[in-house]
Structure 1
């Protein structure tokens, strides 16, 4: 199973948080705050934070802007992953992805099943990579954000995590752009 290799040094990752909601403000954004607290509590850098309405084009544009920012390594969004008509975050993410991390949604569903049973099928959590930046779309509940961070993202964004982690492959995420 996985473990932390204490002989390796922790490497902080720069993470942006995007809350997708038609009604939340920074003052009542519990899911975004949950992520922000966990990110900084783990020793990473909260590189940016924003709230946008459930508008596909706006979400995709924000993701692209953050992917182009060399001070941001990861973008985690919360909200808009459900099944209703206004839930367009997954589509916006997929508009930006160069590669989807299919197993992220599967593993998130497994984690959710242990907590909320078959209600887990109503989430479309997703992950991908674009322009050397990791992108993850999580449901808009604080519980889902805690589960995704604690069970999946925190270990994967810890360079010391073995047998492998997302941090160690950062330099190779955009290697196809450097080939001549």
Structure 2
């Protein structure tokens, strides 16, 4: 072992907004995401501000080709005619991870009912995790809260890491819990 630290994971932030790309107003969500990802230990590029639609797909494809570990987008997930980030993302993804997007919406629903209107996706393209967050700063904060609990493990898995095993617990195993590691018969209910 050389004693050198593992290379930092790389992340890119992409802001999808016609108005921010045109300079009508400043991007506020992208910098929040960049700060949040940096706080999680990522080397962050961006935010890269692009218009809605096809430019989002191009930015995602460029990021996958550049081997970013994570790409987080903000904006374009709502219901207006120009909100096309999920469609652009879907064209790039190899596999969707619906649970991440569902968790982000659930986090927002605890605060505002309109969080249910976000159509954001999450998934894997090559070895890159792609996550769509809403354009609102509240939606970005909710998304970062969820991602803070998931990103390290998700990126490890995408890069071929083994599933982590829970540390030995002082609590007795629950034989009725299908995800309980002490219950081998319940392993069929585990997402492994």
Using the size of structure 1 for normalisation, the TM-score is: 0.79
If asked which structure has higher relative contact order (CA below 8 Å, sep 6+), I would say 1
Q: What secondary structure, in the 3-state scheme, does the structure 2 residue paired with 1:66 have?
A: helix
Structure 1 residue 42: Cα displacement: 2.5
Gaps of 5+ in 2: 162-192
Q: Which residue of 1 aligns with 2:154?
A: 166
Using the size of structure 2 for normalisation, the TM-score is: 0.74
Q: Which residue of 2 aligns with 1:132?
A: 127
Gaps of 5+ in 1: 1-8, 159-164, 174-180
Taking a change above 3 Å as real, the CA distance of residues 48 and 33 of structure 1, as seen in their structure-2 partners, is closer
Q: Which residue of 2 aligns with 1:17?
A: 13
Q: What is the root-mean-square deviation of aligned Cα atoms in Å?
A: 2.1
After the TM superposition, which segments of 4 or more aligned residues of structure 1 sit over 6 Å from their partners? none
Q: Aligned to 2:82, which of 62, 83, 86? A: 86
Q: What secondary structure, in the 3-state scheme, does the structure 2 residue paired with 1:172 have?
A: coil
Structure 1 residue 87: Cα displacement: 0.3
Q: Which residue of 1 aligns with 2:31?
A: 33
Structure 1 residue 10: Cα displacement: 8.8
Are 1:109 and 2:97 counterparts?
no
Contact 2:75/2:135 (CA < 8 Å) preserved in 1? yes
Structure 1 residue 12: Cα displacement: 3.8
Q: What secondary structure, in the 3-state scheme, does the structure 1 residue paired with 2:110 have?
A: helix
Structure 1 residue 109: Cα displacement: 1.7
Distance 1:130 1:45 in 2: 19
Task: Give the length in aligned residue pairs.
Answer: 155
